[in-house]
Each structure stands twice: as structure tokens, then as C-alpha cells.
């Protein structure tokens, strides 16, 4: 069986059993391009290893590609297309997860200003309009939504009068309502007025944040565009090869929310389930990995502890 036909069959199978399988096809398409038009039985272990390893240093992408291809070849073996998997037998140790980058308001301003590079010029037309990407960045910063969730929003899902998003069939096949604050609602109203200038974007089913051609954006393109803008504005951290990611906006939202609750004197432990629900997690354990300790969060937590300790000292007297 040809590799392209096997990939199509495999993707259809995974989705037919209820798997979302949204990002894996990108890896499989890249693998197909690297291998060329070959029969699955001709996939040599050396060529597979070259694709999995890539040309740069070891990153978590090694294990991601390995996992996707391992599933493909196991599927091929179970259907009798091949007898033995060409996957690497020596698997490097996973690298420790990179620390999330917590964006400041100044970082957001720099990134928003950097969207100017998306303007069209002679011989160049950016896939995403600057106005659209500015609204996307503000939405990610203010809501902590997943990039895939932002890309999936339609006109029917955005109620600016009630200041609420309807996020449908997200990562865990759940639909939830996501309230938004007045500052973001104001930004999106201005974006909506701009959006009206393009007739091809009409219709309740059309993507709220669409490409220049009126088609829905993909997380891959949004991430690629973000990396270009981040590099252009010089936003980076020294001493590590892990640079700020677009997914770090989700971490930023969670941390900033905790800081705000501490400043307000709220019962953070009691409010954590609400944060988990807002972010679309199954339980609090899924939220904990987003709660990076920052100097601001440590300072607010220390103040809370000092206030409690002071009360206990006074009571002891």
C-alpha cells in the first residue's frame, strides 16, 4: 500500500473511533513529503530515524513525531500491510518541560505593535490581516483560551452584547461558556466593525477570526505567524533555547488570575475549581501545570501567609 493511502486510511480510522486527531495529520503529511511517493514496505529505518530526529538539537518534537509514526506503523502491522515496524528502537530520554513564559502587558503591547509586519506590500500578501492578529493576541491574553479554540470561534459563538464566548467541542469534547471582560469586548467590537468591510466574511457560521481569504485560520498558521512577530520585535529570553510560545498566553492568564485573587484577599483554594472550569479542564490537576510561580505570585502568597501568621500571633497572646 502506498504511504499516502495508508495515512488517509489511518486518519479516517482514528477519527471514526472518536479521536479528535487534529494535530497528528500535520506530522503525517510532513512525513509523507519527506519520504516521497513510496510503498509503506519501502520505508527504511534510517529514513524514518532521520525524519524523527530532524536537523536540530533534541527537543520534545522528537517524541511527538515518534508517537505519531509509531501509531501509524502499528496500524499498518495490524492490517497486514507490513510485518515489522521501521521505527527507532533506541529512544532518547525526554527533556524536562520548558518553563512557561509569563507575558507582561508591555510584552503584549510590543507584540500587538509587531503585527504591522503583516501589512501587504508589493509582491507580498500576508495570510492574516494585522487587525485580525491583533484581536487574536488580545483574546489569548485576556481569556487563556487554547489557540485551537480561538481559531474555531464562529460569528454565532461570539456574543459581544452579553460579553460571552461559546466554545464548542473543545479538547475534551466539552462545550462551555466563557465570559469576557469589558476591555476585551471593546477591542472585539472595534474588530467586528472592521470585519464588516469584507462581504465574504458574512454568515453566522463564518470564522470570527478568519484569514485574508475568509477561511478559518489553523493553529499551525497562527503559531507560525506568532513566531515571526516575536522574532521581529525581539521578544526572547536569554540562557535557554526555549523561547516564548503562543501557548504561554494560557499560562499567563492562569497566573495573572491567581495574582489578582491574592490581591483581592479571595479564598484561592475555593476558587481554583472555577478557574479549572473556565479553562476547560476536566479537573484541577489539569490546571495545576499552568500555575507557574512568578515573583508577583510569590509576593502575593507571602503577604497572605504573613497576614494569617500575624492573626495567629495576636490570638496566641
Q: Are 189 and 158 in contact (CB under 8 A)?
A: no
Arithmetic mean of pLDDT over the chain? 86
| Of the listed ranges 129-143, 175-189, 196-210, 295-309, the one predicted with least confidence | 295-309
**Residue that finishes a domain, picked among 233, 265, 291:** 233
Residue 50 lies in a domain: yes
Greatest mean pLDDT among 76-80, 119-123, 288-292: 76-80
Shared domain for 111 and 227, answered yes or no, is yes
Buried b (16+ CB within 10 A) or exposed e, 297-313: beebeeebeeeeeeeee
Shared domain for 220 and 144, answered yes or no, is yes
Domain of 28 in residue numbering reads as 3-78
Shared domain for 193 and 127, answered yes or no, is yes
Residue 120 lies in a domain: yes
State the average pLDDT over residues 68-88: 95
* Model confidence band, residue 259 (pLDDT cutoffs 50, 70, 90): confident
Q: Are 138 and 105 in contact (CB under 8 A)?
A: no
What pLDDT, on a 0 to 100 scale, did the predictor assign at position 198?
Answer: 80
Residue 151 lies in a domain: yes
Shared domain for 114 and 225, answered yes or no, is yes
Asked if residue 71 has pLDDT above 90, the reply is yes
Q: Are 279 and 241 in contact (CB under 8 A)?
A: no
Domain containing residue 196: CATH number: 1.10.443.10
Shared domain for 197 and 121, answered yes or no, is yes
- pLDDT (tens digit per residue) in 84-125: 999 999 999 887 767 889 999 999 999 999 999 888 655 556
What pLDDT, on a 0 to 100 scale, did the predictor assign at position 312?
Answer: 45
Asked if residue 292 has pLDDT above 80, the reply is no
- pLDDT (tens digit per residue) in 206-247: 899 998 888 888 888 899 999 999 999 999 988 777 789 999
**Residue that finishes a domain, picked among 78, 95, 114:** 78
Residue 64 lies in a domain: yes
| Of the listed ranges 48-57, 114-123, 156-165, 254-263, the one predicted with least confidence | 114-123
Q: Is 92 helix (H, G, I), strand (E, B) or coil?
A: coil
The string of DSSP codes covering 242-271 is ----TTHHHHHHHHHHHHHHHHHT--HHHH
Shared domain for 225 and 263, answered yes or no, is no
Asked if residue 172 has pLDDT above 70, the reply is no
Greatest mean pLDDT among 103-112, 166-175, 300-309: 103-112
What pLDDT, on a 0 to 100 scale, did the predictor assign at position 314?
Answer: 46
Instruction: Tell me the C-alpha to C-alpha distance, in Å, between residue 78 and each of 31, 34, 72, 82, 227.
Output: 20, 24, 10, 8, 39
Shared domain for 154 and 224, answered yes or no, is yes
Residue 277 lies in a domain: yes
Shared domain for 223 and 257, answered yes or no, is no
Shared domain for 269 and 220, answered yes or no, is no
Shared domain for 170 and 222, answered yes or no, is yes
Residue 244 lies in a domain: no
**What does residue 165 show for φ and ψ, rounded to 5 degrees?**
-100, 150
| Of the listed ranges 117-126, 158-167, 256-265, the one predicted with least confidence | 117-126
Residue 74 lies in a domain: yes
* Model confidence band, residue 311 (pLDDT cutoffs 50, 70, 90): very low
Closest C-alpha among 213, 141, 214 to residue 180:
141
What pLDDT, on a 0 to 100 scale, did the predictor assign at position 313?
Answer: 39
Shared domain for 204 and 256, answered yes or no, is no
| Domains: count for the chain | 3
Residue 45 lies in a domain: yes
* Model confidence band, residue 296 (pLDDT cutoffs 50, 70, 90): low
Shared domain for 119 and 228, answered yes or no, is yes
Amino acid at each position: 500500500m502506498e504511504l499516502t493511502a495508508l495515512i488517509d486510511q489511518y486518519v479516517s480510522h482514528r477519527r471514526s473511533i472518536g479521536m479528535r486527531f487534529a494535530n497528528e495529520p500535520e506530522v503525517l503529511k510532513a512525513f509523507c513529503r519527506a519520504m516521497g511517493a513510496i510503498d509503506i514496505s519501502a520505508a527504511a529505518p534510517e529514513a524514518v530515524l532521520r525524519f524523527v530526529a530532524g536537523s536540530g538539537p533534541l527537543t520534545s518534537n522528537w517524541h511527538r513525531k515518534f508517537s505519531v509514526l509509531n501509531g501509524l506503523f502499528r496500524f499498518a502491522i495490524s492490517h497486514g500491510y507490513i510485518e515489522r515496524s521501521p521505527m527507532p528502537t533506541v529512544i532518547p530520554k525526554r527533556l524536562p518541560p520548558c518553563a512557561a513564559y509569563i507575558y507582561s502587558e508591555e510584552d503584549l503591547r510590543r507584540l500587538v505593535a509587531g503585527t504591522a509586519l503583516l501589512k501587504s506590500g508589493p509582491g507580498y500578501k500576508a495570510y492574516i490581516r494585522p487587525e485580525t492578529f491583533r484581536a487574536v493576541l488580545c483574546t489569548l491574553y485576556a481569556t487563556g483560551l487554547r489557540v485551537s479554540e480561538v481559531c474555531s470561534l464562529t460569528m454565532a459563538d461570539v456574543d459581544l452584547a452579553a460579553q460571552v464566548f461559546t466554545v464548542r467541542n473543545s479538547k475534551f469534547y466539552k462545550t462551555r461558556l466563557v465570559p469576557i471582560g469589558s476591555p476585551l469586548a471593546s477591542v472585539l467590537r472595534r474588530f467586528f466593525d472592521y470585519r464588516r468591510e469584507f462581504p465574504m466574511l458574512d454568515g453566522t457560521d463564518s470564522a470570527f477570526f478568519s484569514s485574508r481569504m475568509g477561511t478559518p485560520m489553523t493553529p499551525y498558521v497562527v503559531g507560525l505567524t506568532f513566531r515571526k512577530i516575536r522574532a521581529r520585535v525581539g521578544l526572547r529570553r536569554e540562557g535557554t533555547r526555549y523561547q516564548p510560545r503562543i501557548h504561554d498566553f494560557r499560562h499567563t492568564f492562569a497566573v495573572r488570575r491567581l495574582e489578582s485573587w491574592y490581591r483581592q484577599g479571595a479564598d484561592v483554594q475555593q476558587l481554583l475549581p472555577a478557574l479549572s472550569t473556565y479553562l476547560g479542564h476536566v479537573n484541577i490537576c489539569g490546571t495545576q501545570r499552568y500555575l507557574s510561580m512568578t515573583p508577583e505570585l510569590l509576593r502575593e502568597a507571602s503577604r497572605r501567609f504573613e497576614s494569617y501568621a500575624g492573626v495567629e500571633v495576636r490570638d496566641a497572646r
